[in-house]
Structure 1
Amino acid sequence: MAPAKYQKPPQAPPKFTATESSLIEDTKRLIARSRGVQDAIVRDVTPETATFAKVTLPMARDDNKMAIESHIIGFYQAVSTDQKLRDASTEAERLLDDFGIESSMREDVYKLVDAAFKAGESLDPESKRLLEKDHKSYIRNGLGVPAGPKRDRFKEIKKRLSEISIGFQKNLNEENGGLWFSPEELDGVPEDVLVSLEKGTGDNEGKLRLTFKYPDLFPTLKYATNPKIRQKLFVDNENKCNQNVPLFQETVLLRDEAARILGYKNHAEFRIEDKMAKTPKTVDDFLGDLRTRLAPGGVREIERLLALKKEDIKKKGIKDVDEERYYLWDHRYYDRLLLERDYSLDQQKITEYFPLQTTIRGMLQIFEELFGLVFVEIMGEERDKIAETGKGSDIVWHEDVQLFSVWDDEGEGSGFVGYLYLDLFPREGKYGHAANFNLQPGYIDESGKRRYPATALVCNFSKPTPKKPSLLKHEEVVTLFHELGHGIHDLVSRTIYSRFHGTSTVRDFVEAPSQMLENWCWTPSQLKSLSHHYSYLSPEYQAAYAESSGGAKRPEETVPDELISNLISTKHINDALFNLRQLHFGIFDMTVHEPESHEDIKQLKLSETYNKLRKEISKLDGPELLNGGDWAWGNGQATFGHLIGGYDAGYYGYLSSQVYSADMFYTVFKANPMNGKEGRRYRHTVLERGGSQEEMQTLEDFLGRKPSTEAFYKELGLSG
């Protein structure tokens, strides 16, 4: 049971009791209220009397209230097991998006915002930023275009883009494809993956069904010894969502058309104007420079991996395999083999030291120590006590979900911070990647009282089996820490308006705080503290380990120093190829959003461009060599949710954010990653700010100077 002072949060957690009809009814109620607020402003205020308090503030407060319900309404489509509830959530999001477009193009409201903006009142910095952003937003939403056919077409495009985005993500969430393989075909795949697969009946008797979900896909590409099986799985995974192909095509065409209506050369110029980079040229130069620097390393890495492939094929006597080429489906397999052979890195052995639950507890302890937080898990009867309805099941959306109340420690004032949810295992219809979702933002309400945030981590780690708990690969430890970093950003943010809360920053900064925290997963002391061999969790697991290891001596309880040393020595192995993969995504993103003319984007063959660019940038071969040069063998862009869901002309942000994250870590934390004084300074200077001030200002406040690329290139071994 939690200590008494942590048993009664001042705000109940959100409820997850919606029905299909309530989702739609609640959405219509929110829209009606919001429209009423806007109508009242237009009725009661004139351009002559317009002020921030009369125009922008009432809408900002309505936005605050709207977000408390609307984020959860849209969240059901990512996590609900009920298809009808997911469909209703999708429909509700469409209604909210349509209303958002209608609101953003209200000329009567814009005239008043414009008047308030031009009044030049003295405002606090966050309110001033809100007014500036709102004013510019109306112009970027078409109100700078004269009323008439062009503006009408712009609105039409906005509506269609919203529909496409919702449909595209729904197709990805509900993708449920898979392949049937015999156990022999899956030779080499770890036993704990195989035991979790669906067993076939009828025509598939004796076979196992491998899905395209990460816990099935990645281990099979890493361990399956049969290259033909890896090839089949890789190519089919690239084609798992082909119904999204025409949606992606339509999206890039409409975005380009909309940008040109607004007077921009292309969509990239429109999108990047408001980001830290400001211009497409800055982005193109950054990506081009990085590509030039990384290319020679990529070639060297492929040469080394190809030599290993030849050796492996010869040793295993594998026939009918092209040993002169290094293919896309070779990479995870030989990358893993190289680490095992040359660095004594046994990924399966490392995995045994990272049971999911003890790793989470270890991570939360790190955040407690660094940022002055306390995490209290709420279980069983405790849930009943804090639920508004008295039913603990009402405050989670699935029985697997964990819930924590989060508090400041005594040094930070012992106040309540918010709620953290963890939804960690795959299930049908659930969002298929790892992400942080804001459920309710924090803000200051009309009475000056703080409204506390709630945030959720939605991941897809392998489920426990009767003989093993859920065990994390090291790359999954990094993923979990990264997403928890977003969650902490969301929780500790302190802004007046929900508009700027937490991760509501520009896209080319938003990843930096979480990327910086990934460094803790490569620090010996932190890896040690996170680790706990699963055989020590229970007598049953101890017996299961003894059985599976053939009675081998029980390992140390925490990960041995030698294993940590081996792991850390591999941090930058094949790093050029990893970053060239990121460059492929970033350059493809810019290519489709930066055409010379609208005709050019019409003529661009997207699947061929996606696959050709990958070959040109990463130098990894694909099936085009085996099928007579057909570059349209796969539709990877149709599985690329980021480019439809907000990272358009912004994927470069994953790489540019690393510049900032490396600079922050090396400057402040490298010497002592657990420096609580600096951790708290980071919390208050960077994380608390959210998007409430210019992100460059936030960085300069923390670093004490302008950011530098030196640490980034040094980390990649590319300095000088």
Structure 2
Amino acid sequence: MAPERYRTPPQAPPKFIATPSSLVEDTKRLIDRARNVQNEIARNVSSADASFSKVNLQMAHDDNKMSIESHIISFYQAVSTSQELRDASTEAEKLLDDWGIEASMREDMFKLVDATLQKNEPLDPESRRLLEKEHKDYIRNGLNLPVGTKRDRFKEIKKRLSEISIIFQKNLNEEKGGLWLTRDELAGVPQDVLGNLEQGLGENEGKLRLTFKYPDLFPALKYAKSAATRQKIFVENENKVNQNVPLFREAIILRDEAARLLGYNNHAEFKIEDKMSKTPKTVDDFLGDLRTRLTPGGAREIEALLALKKAEMESNGNAASFDGRYYLWDHRYYDRLMLERDYSLDQEKIAEYFPLGPTIGGMLRIFEELFGLVFIEITGEDRDRISETGQGSDITWHEDVKLFSVWDDEGEGSGFVGYLYLDLFPREGKYGHAANFNLQPGYVDESGDRRYPATALVCNFSKPTAKKPSLLKHDEVVTLFHELGHGIHDLVSRTTYSRFHGTNVVRDFVEAPSQMLENWCWTPSQLRSLSQHYSYISSSYKEAYDEATNRANQPPEHIPDDLIENLIKTKHVNDALFNLRQLHFGIFDMTVHEQLSHQAAEDMEISLLYNKMRHDISKLEGPEVFNGGDWSWGNGQATFGHLIGGYDAGYYGYLSSQVYSMDMFYSVFKDDPMNKAEGRRYRHTVLERGGSQEEMRTLEDFLGRKPSSEAFYKELGLTS
């Protein structure tokens, strides 16, 4: 039970009691209210009378209230176990998107916002930013286009792009593909993974079904000894949602057309204008320079990995099969073997020290110490007590979900911060990657009171068994810490308007705060504090461990120094190939969105481009080797939700924001990662600001200077 002072948060958590019909009905109610607010403004306010308080503030208050419900309405499609609820959530999101397009293209409201901007009334900085952003949004949504055919076509494109985005992500969430494989084909894959696979009946008797969900896919590609098996899994995974192929192509073409209607040369120019990079040339130059710097290192890494492949095949009696090539399905396997052979890195052994529950506890303690927070898990009768319905089951969407109330510690004033949800295991129909979802933003309401946020981490880690808890590989520890970083950004943000809350910043900065925090997962003291060998969690786990290993002595409770040292040595092993993979995504994204003409966009053979660019950038080979140079063997872009879900002409942000993240870490935290004073300064200077001011100003406020790329290139070993 939580301490008394934490048992009564000043705001109840959100409810998850929707039905398929209520989701749609509530959405229509929200849209009707928003439309009425804007109609009322348009009726009662003239351009001569227009002001921020009469126009923008009224819309902002309604946006705030709408977001409290609309985010959750859309969230059901990512997490609900009910197909009907997921379908209704998808339908509701389409209604919300259609309303957003309608509202963004209202001529009457644009004229009032324009009149307000022209008056240049004195406003606080965040309100000024809101006014300017909203004014520009109307222009970017076609209201500078003449009324008639062009504007109607632009609106038609916006609606279709919204439909494509929703269907594309739904196809990914609902993906149920897999392969029936024999145990011989899966030789080498850890028993922990095999034990969780569906066992075949009838024609599949004796086989196991490997899905394309991460807890199945990645271990199979890392451990399956059979290259034929790995190839089959890799190629099938690249083709798991081929119904998205025409949707992706249509989106690219429509984006290009819309950008040209607005007077831009291409979609990339349109999208990047509002980001920190400002122009496609800045992005192209950055990606091109990084490619030039990384390519020699990638070639050296492939050479070393090829030597390892040859030696391994010779030791297995397969020397005659070695063809001197390094394939896409080779990489996870031989990367792991290299780490084990050259760095004595046993990922399975390391994972024993990172059981999910204790690791999360360790992460939360780091955030508590660094940022002045307190996390209180809400369980049992406390859930019933704080639920508005009196039913604790109503405040989560699934029984596996953990819920925390988050508070400031005494040094930060002991106030309430918000709610954190953790949904950590895969299930049918659930979002398939790892992400942070804002459920309810924070803001200041009409009466001047603060509304507190709720945020959710949705991940897909392996489920616990009777003999083992869920054990995290180190890269999963990094992923979890990264996504928790987004969650903390969401929680501690203190903006006036929901539009600027938390991670609502430009795409080429949004990853920087979480990327910076990843460094804590490579720091010896923090790794030790995150760790606890799973045999210490319970007597039953200890018995199972002893039985499985025939161990006479229990291993140390926390990860030993030699394992930490070996792990840290591997931080940049095959790093050039990892970053070349990211460059493939980033350069492909820019290429498809930066065509010289609309005809060129229509003529693109996108799957061929995706596969050929991956080879040209990373030098990893694929089935084209066996198919006479046919590059149409896979459709990886159709599995890539980022480029349809908001990172279009923006995926480069994962790389460019590392420049900012490394600059912040090296300049402030590298020598003392747990410096409380700097942690709190980071919280107040960067995280609390959200998108309420220019992101470059936020960065410069924290660094005390303009950002530099020196630390980024130094970390990658690319300094001259």
- Please indicate the TM-score interval, normalised by the length of the shorter structure: over 0.9
| SS of the residue 2:374 aligns to | strand
Q: What's the CA shift for 1:16?
A: 0.1
Counterpart Cα distance in 2 of 1:276 and 1:318:
52
- The aligned residue for residue 139 of structure 1 is 139
- The aligned residue for residue 716 of structure 1 is 716
Counterpart Cα distance in 1 of 2:150 and 2:361:
55
- The aligned residue for residue 658 of structure 1 is 658
Q: 5 Å matches for 1:358-507?
A: 358-507=358-507
What number of residue pairs does the alignment pair up? 720
- The aligned residue for residue 526 of structure 2 is 526
Q: What's the CA shift for 1:184?
A: 1.1
Length-normalised TM-score, structure 2: 1.00
Q: 5 Å matches for 1:204-283?
A: 204-283=204-283
Closer/same/farther in 2, CA of residues 588 and 444 from structure 1, 3 Å limit: same
Worse-superposed segment, 543-552 or 280-289: 543-552
Which digits, 9 at most, give the CA deviation of each residue in 1:42-92, with x for residues without a partner?
A: 000001110011110000010000000000000000000000000000000
Q: What letter matches 1:265 in structure 2?
A: N
Q: What letter matches 1:616 in structure 2?
A: D
Which digits, 9 at most, give the CA deviation of each residue in 1:364-384, with x for residues without a partner?
A: 000000000000000011100
Q: What letter matches 2:204 in structure 1?
A: N
Q: What letter matches 1:373 in structure 2?
A: L
**Does the 8 Å CA contact 1:172/1:241 hold for their aligned counterparts?**
yes
Q: What letter matches 2:397 in structure 1?
A: W
- The aligned residue for residue 621 of structure 1 is 621
Q: What letter matches 2:425 in structure 1?
A: F
Q: What letter matches 2:161 in structure 1?
A: L
Counterpart Cα distance in 2 of 1:319 and 1:165:
47
Q: What's the CA shift for 1:551?
A: 2.9
Which digits, 9 at most, give the CA deviation of each residue in 1:224-254, with x for residues without a partner?
A: 0000000000000000000000000000000
**Does the 8 Å CA contact 2:182/2:208 hold for their aligned counterparts?**
yes
Counterpart Cα distance in 2 of 1:513 and 1:68:
25
**Does the 8 Å CA contact 2:256/2:267 hold for their aligned counterparts?**
yes
Q: What's the CA shift for 1:614?
A: 0.2
Q: 5 Å matches for 1:34-433?
A: 34-318=34-318, 321-433=321-433
Which digits, 9 at most, give the CA deviation of each residue in 1:522-581, with x for residues without a partner?
A: 000000000000011111111111111123532111001000000000000000000000
Counterpart Cα distance in 1 of 2:535 and 2:224:
26
Counterpart Cα distance in 1 of 2:197 and 2:356:
20
Counterpart Cα distance in 2 of 1:551 and 1:70:
53
Q: What's the CA shift for 1:322?
A: 4.2
Q: What's the CA shift for 1:320?
A: 7.1
| SS of the residue 1:2 aligns to | coil
Q: What letter matches 1:194 in structure 2?
A: L
Q: What letter matches 2:550 in structure 1?
A: G
- The aligned residue for residue 707 of structure 1 is 707
Counterpart Cα distance in 1 of 2:218 and 2:431:
17
**Does the 8 Å CA contact 1:142/1:151 hold for their aligned counterparts?**
yes
Closer/same/farther in 2, CA of residues 262 and 197 from structure 1, 3 Å limit: same
Q: What letter matches 1:205 in structure 2?
A: E
Q: What letter matches 2:293 in structure 1?
A: R
Counterpart Cα distance in 2 of 1:320 and 1:692:
62
Counterpart Cα distance in 2 of 1:132 and 1:179:
52
Q: What letter matches 2:180 in structure 1?
A: W
Q: What letter matches 1:153 in structure 2?
A: R
| SS of the residue 1:404 aligns to | strand
Counterpart Cα distance in 1 of 2:166 and 2:553:
53
- The aligned residue for residue 600 of structure 1 is 600
Closer/same/farther in 2, CA of residues 301 and 314 from structure 1, 3 Å limit: same
**Does the 8 Å CA contact 2:105/2:142 hold for their aligned counterparts?**
yes
Which digits, 9 at most, give the CA deviation of each residue in 1:483-534, with x for residues without a partner?
A: 0000000000000000000000000000000000000000000000000000
| SS of the residue 1:390 aligns to | coil
Q: 5 Å matches for 1:626-705?
A: 626-705=626-705
Q: What's the CA shift for 1:628?
A: 1.2
The answer to whether structure 1 residue 544 and structure 2 residue 544 are counterparts is: yes
Q: What letter matches 1:371 in structure 2?
A: F
**Does the 8 Å CA contact 1:309/1:323 hold for their aligned counterparts?**
no
Q: Indicate the RMSD between aligned Cα atoms, in angstroms.
A: 0.6
Closer/same/farther in 2, CA of residues 45 and 320 from structure 1, 3 Å limit: farther
Which digits, 9 at most, give the CA deviation of each residue in 1:254-292, with x for residues without a partner?
A: 000000000000000000000000000000000000000
Which digits, 9 at most, give the CA deviation of each residue in 1:597-627, with x for residues without a partner?
A: 0011111100000000000000000110011
Q: What's the CA shift for 1:466?
A: 1.2
Which digits, 9 at most, give the CA deviation of each residue in 1:306-333, with x for residues without a partner?
A: 0000000111123774431000000000
| SS of the residue 2:43 aligns to | helix
Counterpart Cα distance in 2 of 1:285 and 1:537:
51
Counterpart Cα distance in 2 of 1:410 and 1:577:
46
**Does the 8 Å CA contact 2:310/2:319 hold for their aligned counterparts?**
no
**Does the 8 Å CA contact 1:30/1:66 hold for their aligned counterparts?**
yes
Counterpart Cα distance in 2 of 1:432 and 1:492:
27
| SS of the residue 2:75 aligns to | helix
| SS of the residue 1:455 aligns to | strand
Q: What letter matches 1:642 in structure 2?
A: H
The sequence identity of aligned pairs, in percent, is 77
In structure 1, list runs of 5 or more residues that go unmatched: none
